[in-house]
Amino acid sequence: MIMPLRMELPKRNQACKLRRECADEITEELHRNFAEIAPRALNILSDLAENAESESVRLGATRDLLDRAEFRPVDRHEIVKEKSVEELNAQLVSLVGDDGAEMLISAFRSRKSITGPELAG
């Protein structure tokens, strides 16, 4: 038997009110449940990344693992802290050394292309 709409609204409002009142407890319980299953899920993802027959499944699992470890590609829309020229130069030197930094800056200024072996040598 279909109940009249006026009977259903109070029940829906009560459910919404109860959900709002218990939101913190619900969230905590969900976090506990996910914390319990996370190690198994990680093992499954790791197994898929290494052993799946499908290359696309291995790639997807690998991406998911990296994503969850917060190794995400840089989003071009992210706001990046602006650095001074000195800070950028110091960062470049720390990555490729003094000679590599000098070579890269020189190539950038002349628009010359440089390959990896040139930087290593």
Q: What DSSP character marks residue 78?
A: S
Higher pLDDT, 43 or 14: 43
Name residue, tokens 């919404």: 16
Asked if pLDDT for residue 91 goes beyond 60, the answer is yes
Buried b (16+ CB within 10 A) or exposed e, 43-62: eebeebbeeeeeeeeeeebb
Question: Would you say residue 77 has pLDDT above 70?
Answer: no
Per-residue pLDDT band at 79 (split at 50, 70, 90): low
Residue 84 has pLDDT above 80, yes or no: yes
Residue 70, pLDDT > 90, answer: no
Q: Per-residue pLDDT for 110 more than 60? A: yes
Sign of the CA dihedral with 100 first, then 106, 107, and 112 last: negative
pTM tops 0.75, yes or no: no
3-state secondary structure of 75: coil
92, two tokens: 């470049």
Q: Is residue 78 pLDDT above 80, yes or no? A: no
Spatial separation of the C-alpha atoms in residues 107 and 28, rounded to whole Å: 55
pLDDT digits (tens, 9 = 90+) for 96-109: 888 888 888 888 88
Q: Higher-confidence residue: 74 or 86?
A: 86
